[in-house]
């Protein structure tokens, strides 16, 4: 006899701003369950997980937890307020009787000591600390929302192994196919407000989903044909005024209403790239190129040739130097020794994972058109910006929306839309899969497969690398980079191991590691001394960073009120926009501090 569920949600519904987000959601989690929760961006997955955790009250439905069952929830944005150290934060999840040493073990396994100041953690370090707090007590149920976000490959593979060995039931949200396939045994699909469940892991989900859509489309065609037949009778048959025909006319109206109310799947993204003239045969050639920052070697005697049409993946642990390497290969940074030569007739498009080109104050239309009218040139043809935005799942109403209020997935789609509209024959993508749903990942993969130019891809997504790249350049430590033929799985087979974590510990003085590997900033080798203005900026930036951090904490406290939106939508939207702006300013300030600090260390000032 099967054990009763530890957690159940029945007939759950929730509406935001008058629009139903969740209408008929059902979840049952048994002891030892391994379930993944999947659905499109904006479908309500994170909200449903928060309802399961007891953090959001639904408009309707029943939430039941077995008495004595323990639940831990991993939020995308952990709150470190009130904790003096990372160890104190991790130990806060422990209950009487739990192993007091497990929190430190988890932190050390994730590359932290526990002595770090929570206010000075990077995105990746914050995610590691939150994972340690959630995993430390070994609860009955673990609810994990995008646990692999901000983690590098060694940390993702460690987490995968740790979760395989836990006794806790799991409910996972993730865009990482490999991670979901390895851990899930059942799948809960949230689609158009309704959940559907299959007793298969994620590896069997996509084929089942596609078959479901095909059956749904057949049913829709049957309904369309029935409506057409009834309309034909109405036009050419017996007059509808006769009483015996009134019921048939009513049935037609019912059919039309059913057709209108039939909620279709959210539209698909249409991605096409605009290709420039053909580049030269050799796109990039490195000859014994080297780059160091102080005593640390980032690239050591690299010789590499990238030919037209190649698809090169770059992988490594955080801090390995992936961003610096990309800057060298694309000519944005000069090597200390050796040479890097770019090919002829190159038109490069760089998709930066930091989304630095998206100014928060601009509208979606202004980002694409540069503020010049309502048309955009794509593939040499002018298109209305709203039509182009529809290709990337933006509604006409969002055309005038400020960037500051877009979600992470929407910002990434907008950045991709901007990049693909510009002619290129060399596409450089730095973590392009962040915040994208699985369907959008599929379409991005198809677009890259049809792209006639050359691709350089930095990614922690193992499945995406396998599907897209033809060779992988891997950090072997101490500045050594080795190229392996094939995708990520082929590299592991040839190398005998996946990507390893860096052995050298990172200096703890920096407020935040750089995105995509915490590489040293690309400062010019010719700069040897800070100017007076830069020295003053370096002294004042820590105070500004601390002020921004305090403001962000207060804004998050305001937005943590689950009733705020219903009570005061204007304040909710203002706080949300202010939070996005403050986080953007904080990232820029920390980036600037790191640049100046590295320059100061290099110059010996």
- The binding site for ATP comprises 39-46, 316-323
In degrees and rounded to multiples of 5, residue 317 shows phi and psi of: -70, 165
Domain ranges of the chain: 7-206, 207-261, 283-347+461-500, 533-603
- Beta bridge partners, 50, equal none
CATH topology of domain 283-347+461-500: Rossmann fold (3.40.50)
Is the overall model pTM greater than 0.95, yes or no?
no
325 close to 299: Cβ distance less than 8 angstroms: yes
Q: What is the CATH number of domain 533-603?
A: 1.10.287.380
291 close to 299: Cβ distance less than 8 angstroms: yes
14 close to 22: Cβ distance less than 8 angstroms: yes
137 close to 130: Cβ distance less than 8 angstroms: no
447 close to 379: Cβ distance less than 8 angstroms: no
Q: How buried is 18 (Cβ within 10 angstroms: 0-12 exposed, 13-18 middle, 19+ buried)?
A: exposed
- The binding site comprises 39-46, 316-323
CATH topology of domain 7-206: Rossmann fold (3.40.50)
Cα–Cα distance measured from residue 300 to residue 295, given in angstroms and rounded to the nearest whole number: 12
pLDDT in the model for residue 517:
40
Cα–Cα distance measured from residue 561 to residue 32, given in angstroms and rounded to the nearest whole number: 32
53 close to 139: Cβ distance less than 8 angstroms: no
Cα–Cα distance measured from residue 312 to residue 458, given in angstroms and rounded to the nearest whole number: 9
CA angle 151, 510, 77 (to 5 degrees): 40
pLDDT in the model for residue 545:
85
pLDDT in the model for residue 228:
67
Pairing of strands 375-378, 381-384: antiparallel
Cα–Cα distance measured from residue 88 to residue 388, given in angstroms and rounded to the nearest whole number: 49
Residues of the chain with pLDDT under 50: 238-244, 259-260, 263-264, 503-528
Continuous H helices in 139-242: 153-165, 177-183, 202-236
Helix axes 102-109, 123-135, angle to 10 degrees: 150
pLDDT in the model for residue 519:
43
pLDDT in the model for residue 506:
38
Cα–Cα distance measured from residue 280 to residue 507, given in angstroms and rounded to the nearest whole number: 42
Q: Where are the beta strands (DSSP E) in 30-92?
A: 34-38, 60-65, 71-74
pLDDT in the model for residue 173:
93
Secondary structure of 447-500 in HEC code, one letter for each residue: HHHHCCCEEEEECCCHHHHHHHCCEEEEEEECCEEEEEECCHHHHHHHHCCCCC
Q: In CATH terms, are 7-206 and 283-347+461-500 the same topology?
A: yes
131 close to 476: Cβ distance less than 8 angstroms: no
Of 229, 397, 431, 417, nearest in space to 322 by CA = 431
CA angle 521, 526, 530 (to 5 degrees): 70
């Amino acid at each position: 006899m099967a054990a009763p569920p530890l957690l159940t949600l029945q007939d759950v519904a929730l509406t935001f701003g008058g629009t139903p987000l969740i209408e008929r959601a059902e979840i049952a989690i048994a002891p030892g369950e391994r379930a993944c929760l999947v659905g499109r961006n904006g479908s309500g997955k994170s909200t449903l997980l928060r309802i399961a955790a007891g953090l959001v009250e639904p408009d309707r439905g029943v939430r039941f937890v077995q008495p004595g069952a323990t639940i831990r929830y991993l939020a995308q944005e952990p709150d470190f307020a009130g904790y003096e150290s990372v160890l104190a934060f991790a130990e806060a999840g422990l209950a009487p009787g739990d192993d007091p040493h497990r929190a430190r073990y988890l932190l050390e396994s994730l590359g932290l000591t526990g002595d770090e100041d929570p206010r000075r953690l990077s995105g990746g370090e914050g995610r590691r600390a939150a994972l340690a707090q959630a995993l430390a007590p070994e609860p009955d149920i673990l609810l994990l929302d995008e646990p692999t976000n901000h983690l590098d490959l060694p940390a993702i593979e460690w987490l995968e192994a740790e979760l395989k060995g836990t006794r806790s039931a799991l409910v996972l949200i993730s865009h990482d196919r490999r991670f979901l396939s390895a851990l899930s045994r059942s799948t809960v699909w949230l689609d158009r407000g309704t959940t559907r469940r299959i007793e298969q892991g994620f590896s069997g989900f996509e084929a089942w989903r596609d078959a479901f859509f095909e059956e749904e489309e057949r049913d829709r065609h049957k309904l369309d044909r029935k409506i057409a037949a009834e309309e034909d009778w109405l036009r050419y048959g017996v007059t509808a005024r006769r009483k015996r025909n009134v019921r048939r006319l009513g049935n037609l109206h019912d059919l039309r209403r059913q057709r209108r109310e039939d909620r279709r799947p959210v539209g698909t993204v249409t991605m096409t790239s605009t290709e420039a003239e053909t580049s030269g045969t050799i796109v990039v050639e490195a000859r014994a190129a080297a780059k160091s920052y102080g005593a640390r070697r980032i690239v050591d005697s690299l010789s590499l040739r990238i030919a037209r049409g190649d698809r090169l993946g770059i992988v490594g642990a955080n801090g390995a130097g992936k961003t610096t390497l990309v800057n060298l290969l694309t000519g944005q940074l000069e090597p200390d020794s050796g040479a890097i030569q770019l090919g002829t007739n190159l038109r490069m498009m760089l998709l930066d994972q930091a989304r630095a080109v998206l100014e928060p104050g601009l509208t979606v239309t202004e980002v694409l058109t540069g503020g010049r009218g309502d048309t955009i040139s794509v593939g040499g043809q002018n298109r209305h910006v709203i039509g182009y935005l529809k290709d990337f799942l933006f509604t006409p109403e969002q055309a005038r929306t400020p960037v500051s209020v877009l979600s992470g997935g929407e910002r990434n789609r907008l950045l991709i839309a901007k990049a693909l509209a510009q002619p290129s024959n060399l596409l450089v993508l730095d973590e392009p899969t962040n915040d994208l749903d699985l369907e959008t990942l599929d379409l991005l993969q198809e677009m890259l497969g049809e792209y006639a130019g050359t691709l350089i891809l930095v990614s922690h997504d193992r499945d995406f690398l396998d599907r897209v790249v033809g060779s992988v350049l891997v950090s072997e430590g101490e500045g050594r980079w080795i190229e392996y033929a094939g995708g990520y799985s082929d590299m592991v087979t040839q190398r005998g191991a996946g990507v390893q974590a860096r052995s050298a510990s990172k200096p703890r003085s920096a407020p935040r590691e750089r995105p995509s590997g915490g590489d040293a900033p690309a400062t010019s080798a010719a700069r040897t001394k800070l100017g007076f203005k830069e020295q003053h900026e370096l002294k004042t930036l820590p105070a500004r960073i601390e002020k921004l951090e305090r403001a962000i904490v207060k804004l998050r406290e305001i937005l943590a009120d689950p009733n705020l939106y219903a009570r005061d939508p204007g304040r909710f939207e203002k706080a949300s926009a202010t939070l996005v702006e403050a986080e953007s300013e904080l990232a820029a300030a920390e980036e600037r501090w790191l640049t100046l600090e590295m320059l100061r260390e290099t110059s010996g000032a």
